[in-house]
Every structure is written in C-alpha cells, then in structure tokens.
Amino acid sequence: MKWLHKDLLDVSQLSKSEVMAIFETAGRFQELQERPVKKVPTLKGRSVILFFAEPSTRTKTSFDVAGKRLSADTFSLAKSSSSLTKGESLKDTALTLQAMAPDAIVIRHWCSGAARFLADRLDCAVINAGDGRHAHPTQAILDSFTLHQEWGDIAGKTILILGDIAHSRVARSNVVMLNKLGAKVRLCAPRTLMPPAVKSWPVQAYSDLNEAVKGVDAVMCLRLQLERQKDGLLPDLREYARTFGLGQKHIDLANPDVRIMHPGPMNRGVEISSDLADSAGSLVLDQVSSGVVTRMALLFLYMTRKGEE
C-alpha cells in the first residue's frame, strides 16, 4: 500500500483501511520480537529525532527501540536539555531541527497543536506523541492493535474508558479510533472529570461505575493527571479510589473474559487494584509490546512514503 500521509497528528486523519494497513505492518514486525537479533536494515541511514518536551517513559523508549530495531539513527531531545529552557520559541527550535535534515521528528509537547505547528513548517515527517489534552494517536493505535490481536475484530465490542477523561488525550484519541473500528464506546468518570463536550461525542457517558461496567468486553483505565488538574476537582484520592477505582466487584459485572487495559503509568490502588493489573485478563504488558511494533510500523510507513523501500 502506498502511504501518502506526510505526518501523523491525529487518528482522525486515517481511514479504516489505513489503520488496518498499520496493523498488518505491525503484525509483520512482531516476528522480529522473537529473534535473537532483533534488528533489520530497513531504515539504515535514516534519522529520527525524539523531541520530548514532557516526561515520558513508555512512548519515548518504545519509539527509540522501534527506530533502532529498524536500524535508524535516533537522537533524543528533552526540554531540560533544549534551548526552550532559555526562551527559544518552538518555531526557532523547529527550524533548527530542520537544518539537521532528519527524516522524522517524534514530538511530545504540553501545548495542544504543537505537533501541527511543526508539521506545517517542516519538510520531514512529524509524528505526534501527545500534545496537551488534544491527541495521542500512537497510543490509540497500539491500544486498538492490542485488542485486534486479542479478538481478531473489534467491531461490535463494548469498551469502557474509565477515569480522568477531561484531561486525557489518550481518551480523546481512543474514542475516535474505537468508533472508526466499529466498537461501542462508554466513558465513566466523576462529573468534574468529564468534559462538557462529551454530549456531542459518539459515546455513552456514565458517572456510576457499577452501571458503566455492565456487559463490557474491555475496560481501559486512565491515569489521574493531577499535574493538569485544578484544585477542587476531586475530594481526595481515597474517595476517588473507593468510587472509581476498578476492582474485582466491577469485573464480576462485565462480560466473561473481559480484558483490562491501562496506558501507564499505573497508580495501583487508586485507578486499578493491583490484583487486576496483574491478572490473567490484563493486557497492560501486551500494550507495551504492541507499542514497539506499532511504532516500528509507523516509522516505516511515514519514513518510506509513497511505497519507497
């Protein structure tokens, strides 16, 4: 399939057939995970800059691993080690990076729209690794790929996204992606952590977890993003854990073989019980593995556009 997109800014850019092409490519890279030498020369001689202005463990590391397994040269740039700390504008940072002639830039930034700002000014591929509350397309892709690997087909499945919806770019991207693939999406959160715009989203919204979890096929827990919240949105963490923390009593109301997900990092005992996080139905570590192969697929497709190989 010829890949015609220059940038990945949001999953809304992708058609269902393009999503399935990403899944197919990621599936081919999965075999590489089992090899003693986990490396192919596919992107040898090409370079990827990992520009992370916000902290990240899973996303940054998996992109780094993905690039290296494809034999690309990867270079990391964090806010603390960039001239952003000296007052340099994002525009000047972008122009400086372009002068280094990278083939792709993976960006995470605290401002919504930062990835598009770069994409409009750079000739290389720009992949959004999370911009403010706006979008986290690669997380939504790896989450759906994980479920696709588990079920074969996501269409008709009911998936509950639970937690801090208001501040979550993961939730926003997953709502778009899961609907694109034919799933039924539910959201559950305290009213203070549910965005007002949810009324126009293609979801069912709940404030009662016992009702929200009934008959679902998967529950995707979200991290409480306390760093983005204002005081007064939650009474305290103990009250949140008691009312919205996922436990076995909730799983008993879901469909048999319900799957449990979390994009990480997990706050055990707050968003999810430790027993569930480590249970047979947990796909948390599968999501981490999926993160590597889906990001390999994305780097391959966006760095060899128009069918180049």
Residues marked as binding? Answer: 58-59, 86, 108, 136, 139, 169, 223, 264-265
pLDDT of residue 83: 60
Give yes or no for a contact between 124 and 99, defined as CB atoms under 8 angstroms apart.
no
Could you confirm whether domain 11-135+288-307 is CATH 3.40.50.300?
A: no
The CA distance from 197 to 8, in Å, is 24
Beta strand pairing call for 158-162 and 125-131: unpaired
Q: Which two tokens stand for residue 218?
A: 């998967």
* Predicted structure pTM score: 0.93
Q: How many CB atoms lie within 10 A of CB 247?
A: 15
Residues marked as binding for L-aspartate? Answer: 86, 169, 223
Chain mean position to CA 208:
25
In the chain, domain spans: 11-135+288-307, 137-287
The CA distance from 160 to 188, in Å, is 7
Give yes or no for a contact between 298 and 22, defined as CB atoms under 8 angstroms apart.
yes
How confident is the chain (309 residues) per 10-residue block, as mean pLDDT? 92 97 96 90 96 91 97 85 69 86 95 95 96 96 98 97 95 98 97 93 98 98 73 72 95 97 93 96 97 98 73
Q: How many CB atoms lie within 10 A of CB 96?
A: 12
Residues marked as binding for carbamoyl phosphate? Answer: 58-59, 108, 136, 139, 264-265
Q: Express each pLDDT in 187-213 by its tens digit.
A: 999 999 999 999 999 999 999 999 999
φ/ψ of residue 131, rounded to 5: -130, 110
CATH assignment, 137-287:
3.40.50.1370
